[in-house]
């Protein structure tokens, strides 16, 4: 048996072992439902629902708090020449 045949044989053997292991493993059953104690049930039922957050009006921009507009005689940052 040459080296290539040995490599193929070992690869197929490993593939058969993995496939057999996956095919024969036990399937997990559904998880059992959690049982709550009466005290836990009472605690869940006694909690009041929280109030939704109250929305407030957005503040209006007051002209006195805004920065002054730039002067017209200032040059533009970009003059359009691309440099």
Phi, psi of 38 (to 5 degrees): -60, -35
pLDDT, tens digit, for every residue of 23-82? 988 877 777 888 888 888 888 877 777 788 787 776 667 777 777 777 766 566 666 666
Instruction: Give the pLDDT of residue 20.
Output: 94
Instruction: Give the pLDDT of residue 74.
Output: 56
Count of residues making up the chain: 83
CA 26, 27, 30, 34 torsion-angle sign: positive
pLDDT, tens digit, for every residue of 8-25? 999 999 999 999 999 988
Token pair in block for residue 36? 């709550």
The model's pTM: 0.34
């Amino acid at each position: 048996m040459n080296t290539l045949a040995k490599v193929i044989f070992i690869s197929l053997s490993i593939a058969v072992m993995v496939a057999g292991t996956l095919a024969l493993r036990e399937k997990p059953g559904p998880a059992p439902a959690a049982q709550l104690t009466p005290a836990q049930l009472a605690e869940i039922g006694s909690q009041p629902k929280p109030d939704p957050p109250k929305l407030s009006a957005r503040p209006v921009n007051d002209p006195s708090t805004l920065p002054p507009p730039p002067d017209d005689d200032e040059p533009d940052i970009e003059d359009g020449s691309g440099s």
